[in-house]
């Protein structure tokens, strides 16, 4: 079992839909990152969370430390949101662990 | 502005040649990491370094080598011993005692 599990692995939706991507982890962490990777592109850091909730434009990220769970939400999704979204956690003494990623496709 | 710089973004090499990927940070971070991503797969740890002149193997270190002569720099060499070097390579860093990681843009290596 991976230390960081993301769901779903693949998600296809229509433009305008509300999107939720989930990340669960098995051990205590000091921080969690949400990353975005467009096809053939590099990695972009969207959020860093250690508690609560953050919002940037149409993107919202939440974390529940007690439940070891984080969610990334996209409101009013658009085809340009199509990308792989990756959850990464920092555990203990600088151990950085990535989830497998969620491939999101938004159809016009 | 502080950050991590990976270069180049795209790299092509002939089979059998060694190639070195650059990772530089001006964040004064102690820990630096190299990951590999294959198409449709997650990121896997190749090597990491938590202090200058010291580094540790990750899960898939075979066919790779690194050095950490300076705090700012952690270059990764893909050697001819790496059977399938074509992949996306990501460098990351974390400041000692801090809870935030920084990520390079990545280098996409294609071996022909």
Instruction: Give A8-48 as a 3 state SS string.
Output: CCEEEEECCCCEEEEEEECCCCCEEEEEEECCCCCEEEEEE
A7-21 residue pLDDT tens: 999 999 999 999 999
Closest CA to A87 of A17, A16, A13, A26: A26
Confidence grade of residue A1 (pLDDT, cut at 50, 70, 90): low
Residue of chain B with shortest Cα separation from A37: B105
Average pLDDT over residues B34-60: 93
Chain A CB contacts of B92 below 8 Å: 96
Query: Is residue B1 pLDDT above 70, yes or no?
Result: no
Report the alpha-carbon distance of residue B44 to residue A3 in Å, rounded: 13
Judged by a CB distance cut-off of 8 A, whether residue A91 touches chain B is no
- Report the relative pairing of strands A10-14 and A102-107 from DSSP bridges: parallel
Q: Among A1-5, A67-71, B43-47, name the one with the lowest average pLDDT.
A: A1-5
A50-94 residue pLDDT tens: 999 999 999 999 999 999 999 999 999 999 999 999 999 998 767
| Top mean-pLDDT range of A40-44, A48-52, B40-44, B97-101 | A48-52
Closest CA to B36 of B87, B76, B80, B75: B87
**Yes or no, beta carbons of B103 and A43 under 8 Å apart:** yes
B48 neighbors B33 (Cβ within 8 angstroms): yes
Closest CA to B23 of B43, B12, B9, B37: B9
**Phi, psi of A79, rounded to the nearest 5 degrees:** -50, -30
pLDDT at A73: 98
């Amino acid at each position: 079992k991976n230390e960081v599990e993301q769901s779903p692995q693949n998600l296809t939706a229509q433009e305008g839909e509300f999107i939720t991507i989930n990340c669960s982890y098995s051990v205590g962490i000091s921080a969690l990152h949400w990353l975005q990777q467009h096809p053939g592109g590099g990695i972009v850091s969207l959020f860093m969370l250690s508690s609560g909730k953050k919002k940037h434009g149409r993107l919202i990220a939440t974390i529940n430390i007690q439940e070891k769970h984080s969610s990334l939400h996209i409101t009013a999704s658009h085809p340009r949101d199509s990308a792989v979204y990756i959850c990464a956690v920092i555990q203990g003494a600088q151990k950085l662990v990535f989830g497998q990623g969620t491939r999101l496709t938004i159809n016009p | 502005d502080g950050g991590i710089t990976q270069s180049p973004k795209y790299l092509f090499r002939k089979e059998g040649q060694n190639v070195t990927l650059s990772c530089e940070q001006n964040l004064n971070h102690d820990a630096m990491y190299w990951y590999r991503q294959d198409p449709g797969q997650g990121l896997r740890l190749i090597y990491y370094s938590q202090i200058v002149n010291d580094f540790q193997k990750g899960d898939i270190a075979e066919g790779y080598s690194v050095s950490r002569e300076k705090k700012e720099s952690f270059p990764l060499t893909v050697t001819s011993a790496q059977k399938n070097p074509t992949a996306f390579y990501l460098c990351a860093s974390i400041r000692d005692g801090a809870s935030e990681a920084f990520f390079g843009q990545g280098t996409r290596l294609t071996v022909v």
